[in-house]
Amino acid sequence: MKRDPKSFWRMSVAFVFAVVLAGASQLIINLLLSGNPLWRLVLQLAAASGLVAYIIAAFHERGLLYSALVILATSILVTVLAKIVTPWILQILLVLGFAVLITGSMIAGDILGRPNLGLRLLISASLGTVVCTILAGILGLLIRLPGGFIEGITGYLPVIFELGIIPPLAIMLTRIILGEKRKEIKEQEQE
């Protein structure tokens, strides 16, 4: 079986679409709310959305092992670059768990809505938003915000919608432009 030649392009285009959409929406939100863009937050959310879209595309293009390796490499890289004063293994596991839950819910939604492209977007974005909401509440508890779970949700509301909706939207746009992965690419007609 020959590998689909558009596989790499689908993953890359999904990443780029998610980065551009998330970066632009976060920039607009920052400009509307505070009048000046918080570039660090814009870039962090754009990168996070891009990685989620890339992992979802990688799952469909290259399989579970490849996407699991990307998630593991991402969690180690985030841990090294974040320089937070927590035990590194705990932080790797936390980022790994969040990434697996977010991308897993979107992949499950993508699989459940299989026959229709719009239905896939709707279910995937809905599941992603629900999981992001729960994780934001848990994060509010972990960092001990005064309002706990609820303040975690309200404080991270733009992030919840960007991480929950933009990656499935980027995947849908990629499928519209580059098409779906073919299950099998047959060698030249077996002669």
Please write the tens of the pLDDT for every residue from 97-139: 899 999 999 999 999 988 889 999 999 999 999 999 999 999 8
Amino acid at 78: V
List, in order, residues 6 or more apart from 108 with CB less than 8 Å away: 124, 127
**Given the structure tokens 């960007």, which residue do they identify?**
162
Please write the tens of the pLDDT for every residue from 13-66: 999 999 999 999 988 888 888 777 788 888 888 999 999 999 999 999 998 999
- pTM, two decimal places: 0.87
Both structure tokens of 146 = 């005064």
Q: Kindly state the average pLDDT of the residues 156-180.
A: 91
How far apart CA 45 and CA 39 sit, in angstroms, is: 10
Q: What is residue 184's predicted lDDT score, i.e. its pLDDT? A: 53
How far apart CA 72 and CA 60 sit, in angstroms, is: 17
Please write the tens of the pLDDT for every residue from 129-144: 999 999 999 988 888 8
Q: What is residue 167's predicted lDDT score, i.e. its pLDDT? A: 95
How far apart CA 58 and CA 64 sit, in angstroms, is: 8
Domain ranges of the chain: 7-178
List, in order, residues 6 or more apart from 105 with CB less than 8 Å away: 124, 127, 128, 130, 131
Residues 106/52, Cβ–Cβ less than 8 Å: yes
